Amino acid sequence: MAEAVDAARTVILTVDDDPAVSRAVARDLRRRYGDRYRVVRAESGESALEALRELKLRGSHVAVLLADYRMPRMNGVEFLEQALDLFPGARRVLLTAYSDTGAAIDAINVVDLDHYLLKPWSPPEEKLYPVVDDLLDAWRVTDGKDAGIAKVVGHRWSARSSQIREFLARNQVPYRWYSSDEPEGARLLAAAGEDGLRLPLVVTADGGTLVEPDERELADRVGLSTTPEADFYDLVVVGGGPAGLGAAVYGASEGLRTVLVEREATGGQAGQSSRIENYLGFPDGVSGAQLTDRARRQATKFGAELLTARQVTGLEVRGAARTVRFSDGTEVSAHCVILATGVSYRRLDVAGVDDLTGRGVYYGSALTETPSCQGQDVYIVGGANSAGQAAMFLSRSARSVTLLVRGPSAPATRSHSLLQRIEEPPVVWVRTDTVVDAVHGTDHLEKLTLRNTATGETETVETQWMFVFIGAAPLTDWLDGTVQRDARGFVCTGPDLSPDGRPPAGWTLDRLPYHLETSVPGVFAAGDVRAESAKRVASAVGEGAMAVMLVHRYLEQS
């Protein structure tokens, strides 16, 4: 049996079937954390789960779970899988022998393992405590906020309510959703002195209220950083997708004072993906949210500042400084700037779509809406990888998922493995040569008019859910007149700026631009926003890292 638990303190739980090892792990943990955390010890997966159930009933928090891999009846991975149902936010560590490292690596994908420790872990000051310190820090940021969580009250088919929920979810701010016509939603509105005419209402974790907040106001109140700590940095990274996060990690880890500025939420389009299956090191795939969370934590661990809900509207060259202007008139400057603003989904240009966006029509995965799709007929517009991944994700609960592909077949860019799996679920259907001609509905989506591009025939189908993935475009108008772009708005860099071996117009240095450098010295571009980039998560991360290397080279020669 596990030791008795104390509901008044946050728990670190360790389980090992070897009594000597179990006592040794608990001893080392108590020595370091006993004054701040309750260390609970168990000698089997079953008794550890019993302890966790008791902790759950008492309302206790569990911050870290350390489980031995080789246990009879229930091994460490099996225990962690069941423990996730009780405390999904607890950080997970597998204790394993060197011969079992393969199983530990597999567990990274099975239970989203945070770390694995090899036996012996001595000295704990070098091998155990640094790992647990990092995990406790991460838990406190994401799941251990003592003040509770935010509450959002809104109308089911309100576009603004959907935007607020998506903003909080993508920024990993825990919240609970209440419809305004539900009893609890009505009670919260009454407590806030609101009649429900102005929605959404956000009740912050400290009990404050916000009515129809914008992203900047909301970010400030829920604890996200929106204001830079300094006026001047070594490096400003604009955009928080994979390329921007990669640049922030490498910039900060290599000693550059780095600030990352993001308009909405870190992760970009990749952060909205239900599953990324071709990223190196994750053979079973990883969700965009998981990958983004790890990258955020890694960047802040090295000292990078991450600013959220800041709209960048301009870039200026002021001598040796590169200045980024914000929409509120403030600005921040640095020696170098990396543009990593990525791309945004193109809008569907059909009758009625604008009025119903956020009310049944969504761009991208909109993962906060997918639970409501259970048992529903869902339509996805697009045929590339992102659309296919969304179809696979939604097929778990929807009654049917129909992919609408404009061409006669799936795009050549879709991965072969994904194409094969889409054909497997009986609820997924692919309609080629099909486009959406119109959307219909009053306060929410009710019907779609579909047209066969080969025959011209039209058909009306009933649905409340349509997700759009029809390609992407860069949002780079704010760079007009400063940085050279191609006809589609993508930023030109390196050899593309000087195909004839001559420097671009306005170039002031006696060398040609570096590979990822733009037409402005000291300003670089990485990821999807860059012209002729590979448009893949791995390549975006790689370009972010490469851009930092070129930043160093630029600074050394300046």
Bridge partner residues of 344 (DSSP): 473
Whole-prediction pTM value?
A: 0.78
As a whole-number percent, the residues of the chain with pLDDT over 90 amount to: 64
Q: What's residue 57's pLDDT?
A: 67
> Is residue 357 pLDDT above 60, yes or no?
yes
Q: Return the biggest CA–CA distance within the chain.
A: 76
Per-residue pLDDT tens over the stretch 74-86: 998 899 988 888 8
pLDDT band at 285 (very low <50, low <70, confident <90, very high): confident
∠155-309-493 over CA atoms, to 5°? Answer: 130
Per-residue pLDDT tens over the stretch 36-59: 999 999 999 999 999 998 887 676
**What whole-number distance in Å separates Cα of residue 14 and Cα of residue 133?**
15
Q: Count CA within 13 A, CB hemisphere, residue 467.
A: 25
> Is residue 355 pLDDT above 90, yes or no?
yes
Position with higher pLDDT, 38 vs 275? 38
Position with higher pLDDT, 378 vs 272? 378
Residues near 190 by beta carbon (within 8 Å), at least 6 away in sequence: none
Per-residue pLDDT tens over the stretch 168-221: 989 988 888 999 999 888 988 988 889 889 999 999 877 789 999 999 999 999
Token representation of residue 179: 């419809």
Dihedral Cα 239, 240, 242, 244, nearest 10 deg? 60
pLDDT band at 9 (very low <50, low <70, confident <90, very high): confident
As a whole-number percent, the residues of the chain with pLDDT over 70 amount to: 92
In order of their start, the domains of the chain are: 11-142 (3.40.50.2300), 150-221 (3.40.30.10), 232-343+474-557 (3.50.50.60), 353-472 (3.50.50.60)
Closest by Cα among 400, 351, 356, 336 to 374: 400
Q: What amino acid is encoded at 1 in this protein?
A: M
Per-residue pLDDT tens over the stretch 109-145: 666 788 888 888 889 999 899 999 999 988 887 766 4
